[in-house]
Amino acid sequence: MADTNLDRLMESSMNNIRSVIDSNTVVGEPIYTPDGIMLIPLSRISVGFGGGAADFAVDKGYGGGSAYGVKVEPTGFLVVKDGNVRMMNVIPPANNTLDRIIDMTPGMMDKVNQMIEKITDKRNEE
């Protein structure tokens, strides 16, 4: 396929979007507190993109344009302390059951791990 003005326009636009968004936008760099807690910022990203172009055969002209928008919304932090991980939301979670289950999962896993450790310790004492 021949390289057209539209191809170059779209490629340039996509390169600009790639330069704005990287994995550190979704999962940020860890933040360490003096008391040994690690905070990992989490964000939600929304991207919109559109473009169009036309080659005018009559006067051999070309016209085109593209636009994109990026929305980065902080959602919360993963809090890591003493080997336990929990989610701290900065925006209220949605009120549907699935979102509540997902939000509760890290805390439930910590409780299950604690129960397993207690059972293991009791068996080792016997």
Can you give the pTM of this predicted structure? 0.49
Summarize pLDDT for 17-46 with one digit per residue, the tens. Answer: 776 666 556 788 899 999 989 999 988 887
Q: Domain spans of the chain?
A: 5-91, 93-126
Counts for the chain of helices (H) and strands (E), in that order:
3, 4
Query: Taking Cα atoms as reference points, which of 82, 69, 89, 88 lies closest to residue 17?
Result: 69
- Are the C-beta atoms of residues 77 and 103 closer than 8 Å to each other? no
Question: Higher confidence at residue 75 or residue 108?
Answer: 75
Which ranges in the chain belong to alpha helices (H)? 5-20, 23-26, 97-125
